[in-house]
Amino acid sequence: MKYVIGTILFFITCNLIAQNAVQVQFSPLIGESTVRLNKKYITSNDTISILKLKFYITDFVFLKNKKVVSAVAKKHQLLNIEQPGTLKFQHFIESEFDAIEFKIGVDTTTQTSGVHGGDLDPMLGMYWTWQSGYIHFKLEGTSKRCTGRNNRFQLHIGGYQEPYNTISEVYIPIENKNAINIAIQIDELLEQLDLSEIFDVMSPGKQAVAIAQIAKRAFKLKG
């Protein structure tokens, strides 16, 4: 009898915990379509393809009334479109929340405290070799509008020192639910760039600052 009650209690507990698991998914999109690498997409004013999309999400937190109620354990995550498993994660949360917030990029404290491993290991291709700093957001592809070699654009957005600090914060109000889908509208991002002029951004500077602001606005709640 003890065992029966024990088992029932166990499953009840499991169900209670399961109700508080939130699935977070980042979805790179062009229009409504999920971005597939190397595929050509025709938009209203362009033909584009995406060759690389890698970026850091740092300090992903859940808020209620603008106060943090829960934080994702993994402080820095490298999301890479080539590895779809990195675009999603699960978080267990007990309290209610009405918004999420996260940074795009690696924070200054981490950047100045020596080499790190895991998602921050320089061997992952997101650390500049000729000067110190992580690439917060890397987007490469082709565009008909682009006047670079082979119509290619390479946007490596980084920099943590003023006045070219390009770490950005995204705040999204959310109704408490179990699945949060954050769209990254790549088409909207590219539309706002003059790719005939700006297509090779490889260091901190004014261009990176401008693009970082445009990139952060591409992150929005899907459906």
Partner 1 sequence: MSKNLTIVLIALLLTAFYKVVPRIDYPAYFPKPHYNFDANMPNNAKIELGRTLFYDPILSKDNTISCASCHSPYNAFAHTDHDLSHGIHDQIGNRNAPALFNLAWQNEFMWDGSIKHLDFQALAPISHPKEMGHDLNSLLTKLNASIQYRGMFFNAFSDSTATGENLLKALSQFQLTLLSTQSKYDLVKQKRATFSKQEQQGYLLYQKKCASCHAEPLFSTYGFANNGLPVDQTLADFGKYNVTKQSKDSLLFKIPSLRNLSYTYPYMHDGRFERLYDVLEHYSKGINVSKTLAKQLRKPIKLSANDKADVLAFLMTLNDKEFVFNKMHQNPIKNNVLNKGK
DSSP, collapsed to helix, strand or coil, labels residue 198 as: coil
105 and 168 in contact (C-beta within 8 Å)?
yes
DSSP, collapsed to helix, strand or coil, labels residue 174 as: coil
Q: Which is nearer to partner 1, 73 or 115 (CB)?
A: 115
48 and 40 in contact (C-beta within 8 Å)?
yes
* 127 interacts with partner 1 by CB under 8 A: yes
At its nearest, how many Å lie between partner 1 and the CB of residue 117? Answer: 4
* 52 interacts with partner 1 by CB under 8 A: no
**Selected binder of partner 1 within 131, 178, 181, 213 (CB under 8 A):** 131
Q: Stretches 43-51, 85-93, 129-137, 207-215: which one binds partner 1 (CB under 8 A)?
A: 129-137
Rounded to whole angstroms, the Cα distance separating 183 from 174 reads 13
* 130 interacts with partner 1 by CB under 8 A: yes
Q: Kindly list the distances between the CA atom of residue 125 and the CA atoms of 58, 103, 165, 170, in Å, as whole numbers in the listed order.
A: 17, 19, 20, 24
**Selected binder of partner 1 within 6, 31, 84, 122 (CB under 8 A):** 122
Cα radius of gyration (the chain):
20
**Selected binder of partner 1 within 125, 176, 181, 221 (CB under 8 A):** 125
At its nearest, how many Å lie between partner 1 and the CB of residue 130? Answer: 6
**Selected binder of partner 1 within 10, 196, 205, 221 (CB under 8 A):** 205
- Report the site for partner 1 in 145-164 (rule: CB under 8 A): 161
Which of 165, 45, 181 minimizes the C-alpha distance to 111? 165
> What type of residue is 22?
V
Q: Which is nearer to partner 1, 19 or 113 (CB)?
A: 113
Q: Which is nearer to partner 1, 86 or 151 (CB)?
A: 86
- Report the site for partner 1 in 62-121 (rule: CB under 8 A): 111-117, 120-121
Helices (H), the chain: 2-19, 108-111, 186-191, 206-217
Q: Which is nearer to partner 1, 95 or 131 (CB)?
A: 131
Rounded to whole angstroms, the Cα distance separating 123 from 121 reads 5
Contact residues toward partner 1 (CB under 8 A) are 111-117, 120-125, 127, 129-132, 161, 205
